[in-house]
């Protein structure tokens, strides 16, 4: 385990922005994680936990503390019965590689979350989801280092405070827990319709009538490849904005002007409106703002074409947020966390 100094964060985040981290270290065991964290805390160093860097924005001034890159491996069957298989996955494992392994095992539950970049340990932080599935649907529990009690703890699903693209890990307990592994309970049954609209449209187009974990993964891979730029080639963080959640009374008002608006009932008197659609209606889709391009195939995505720093990204973000607010009276929110 080696501590590096003055490491450019732009090399470890997929938006390719950000100044140097004062210190950076890679940990591969829970024990290494605890030792590094406690040592940094004792020296009053700011600490940031970094997974794959695909959902993180770094600022130009960098980070005046230590960035801990969690690379804890592991993929283990911990329970198995006639209907389900329960798997423990190390926080440092590639999320998509883990999804592929479960699909190869003919297990259902996370196959629609194929091609999401990042690590398994980052998945619960924002309750990642796609095409009708989210991590909260299958997560049984997770293990984490509790920086308050300086001990390792197990948190059950209900303790994670999962909501749409949210959890306690980016909410009121942000920074307290460092996830070391996650445990998922997956089904041995074949995927069943109804499917998310984009998936069903893909199946209908190709006249696919028999659904397996592999056909769902293949469909999601094809759709995402078409709609989303590869962050290893084109600098971006995937969906830069969360989809909008509005009260149903406001939705009713909007539908009077936009009767064809696509909405999803979220319960509790709220509905989800695709933010990509909202941005499209402002005319910004495909436009370049301060060196950031609003992706012409998915307006949720911002691509770093020529931005020279965080200020460019912030200006583009704020311009988009303002345009949506002015047109719809909806305040959309950034999805990636900020390294600070």
Catalytic pick among 93, 134, 143, 335: 335
* pLDDT tens per residue across all 340 residues of the chain: 799 999 999 999 999 999 999 999 999 999 999 999 999 999 999 999 999 999 999 999 999 999 999 999 999 999 999 999 999 999 999 999 999 999 999 999 999 999 999 999 999 999 999 999 999 999 999 999 999 999 999 999 999 999 988 999 999 999 999 999 999 999 999 999 999 989 999 999 999 999 999 999 999 999 999 999 999 899 999 999 999 999 999 999 999 999 999 898 988 899 999 999 999 999 999 999 999 999 999 999 999 999 999 999 999 999 999 999 999 999 999 999 998 7
Q: Is 3.30.465.10 the CATH classification of the domain at 75-187?
A: yes
Catalytic pick among 54, 108, 239, 271: 239
CA distance 307 to 30: 37
CA distance 135 to 70: 19
Q: Confirm whether 147 is a catalytic residue.
A: no
Pairing of strands 337-339, 301-304: unpaired
Q: Kindly give the residue spans of alpha helices, DSSP state H, lying in the chain.
A: 30-42, 95-104, 197-205, 213-227, 248-257, 275-281, 310-328
Q: Is 129 helix (H, G, I), strand (E, B) or coil?
A: strand
CA distance 39 to 34: 8
Same fold, 3-70 and 75-187: no
Q: Is 263 helix (H, G, I), strand (E, B) or coil?
A: coil
- Sheet with 288-289, strands from edge to edge, namely 236-239, 301-304, 292-294, 288-289
CATH code, residues 236-339: 3.90.78.10
CA distance 29 to 8: 24
Q: How many CB atoms lie within 10 A of CB 42?
A: 8
Domain ranges for the chain, please list them: 3-70, 75-187, 197-227, 236-339
Catalytic pick among 165, 224, 293, 317: 165
Q: Confirm whether 335 is a catalytic residue.
A: yes
**pTM for this predicted structure:** 0.91
Under CATH, to which class is 3-70 assigned?
A: alpha beta
- CA-to-CA dists, residue 334 to 87, 105, 119, 126, 311, angstroms: 32, 35, 20, 12, 15
CA distance 321 to 307: 18
Give me the half-sphere count of Cα atoms (radius 13 Å) on the Cβ side of residue 36: 26
């Amino acid at each position: 385990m080696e501590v590096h100094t003055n490491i450019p964060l732009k090399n470890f985040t997929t938006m390719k922005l950000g100044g140097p981290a004062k210190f950076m270290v890679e940990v591969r065991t829970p024990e290494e994680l605890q030792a590094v964290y406690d040592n940094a805390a004792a020296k009053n160093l700011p600490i940031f936990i970094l997974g794959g860097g695909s959902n993180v924005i770094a600022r130009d001034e960098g980070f005046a503390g230590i960035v801990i890159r969690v690379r804890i491996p592991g993929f283990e069957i911990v329970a198995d019965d006639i209907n389900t298989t329960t798997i423990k996955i190390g926080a440092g494992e590639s999320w998509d590689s883990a999804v592929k392994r479960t699909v190869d095992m003919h297990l259902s539950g996370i196959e629609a979350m194929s091609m999401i970049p990042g690590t398994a340990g980052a998945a619960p932080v924002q309750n990642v989801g796609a095409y009708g599935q989210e991590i909260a649907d299958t997560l049984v529990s997770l293990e984490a280092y509790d920086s308050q009690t300086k001990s390792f703890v197990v948190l059950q699903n209900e303790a994670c405070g999962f909501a749409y693209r949210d959890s306690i890990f980016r909410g009121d307990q942000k920074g307290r827990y460092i996830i070391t592994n996650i445990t998922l309970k997956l089904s041995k049954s074949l995927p069943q319709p109804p499917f998310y609209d984009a998936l069903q449209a893909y199946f209908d187009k190709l006249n696919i009538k028999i659904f397996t974990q592999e056909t769902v993964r293949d469909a999601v891979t094809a759709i995402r490849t078409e709609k989303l730029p590869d962050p290893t080639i084109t600098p971006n963080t995937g969906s830069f904005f969360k989809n909008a959640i509005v009260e149903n009374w406001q939705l009713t008002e909007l539908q009077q002007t936009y009767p064809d608006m696509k909405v999803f009932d979220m319960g509790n008197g709220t509905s989800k409106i695709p933010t990509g659609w909202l941005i499209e209606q402002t005319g910004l889709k495909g436009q370049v703002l301060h060196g950031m391009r609003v992706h012409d195939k998915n307006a949720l995505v911002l691509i770093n074409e020529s931005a020279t720093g965080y200020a460019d990204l912030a200006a583009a973000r704020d311009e988009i947020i303002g345009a949506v607010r002015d047109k719809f009276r909806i305040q959309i929110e950034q999805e990636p966390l900020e390294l600070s």
